[in-house]
Amino acid sequence: QSVLTQPPSASGTPGQRVTISCSGSSSNIGSNTVNWYQQLPGTAPKLLIYSNNQRPSGVPDRFSGSKSGTSASLAISGLQSEDEADYYCAAWDDSLIWVFGGGTKLTVL
């Protein structure tokens, strides 16, 4: 049972915009920044969004993040087939632990 709550699955057709939610509490998302990771099949997770809405160098601007209160969202616009992956949110918790979401499997139809 993951501390952060994500929908187990999401889908969209090429070109569409898809959003993935991540719900937490006042001790994690409510008081610390949120990060998103993309995990392609058979590979290690890769940092996708940090500090709620910042993209590391090399991440396309089709990916964007936002945070409001104790929830965060990842949006992917102009969906492409190579975006098919698992997506995880994560945040530091004030109880001095890192917490992850349960992951969302994105399918490009």
Partner 1 sequence: QVTLRESGPALVKPTQTLTLTCTFSGFSLSTSGMCVSWIRQPPGKALEWLALIDWDDDKYYSTSLKTRLTISKDTSKNQVVLTMTNMDPVDTATYYCARTNWGTYYFDYWGQGTLVTVSS
Using CB under 8 A, which residues numbered 75 to 104 contact partner 1? 88, 90, 92, 95-103
Q: Is the Cβ of residue 1 or residue 13 nearer to partner 1 in the bound state?
A: 1
Query: Residue 2: exposed, middle, or buried by beta-carbon count in 10 A (0-12, 13-18, 19+)?
Result: middle
Secondary structure letter of residue 84 according to DSSP: -
User: In terms of Cα–Cα distance, which of 75, 92, 100 is closest to 10?
Assistant: 75
Under rule CB under 8 A, residue 2 binds partner 1: yes
Q: Does residue number 45 form part of the binding site for partner 1 (CB under 8 A)?
A: yes
Q: Which residues does residue 50 pair with via DSSP β-bridges, in sequence order?
A: 54
**Residues binding partner 1 (CB under 8 A):** 2, 32-33, 35, 37, 43-47, 50-51, 56, 88, 90, 92, 95-103
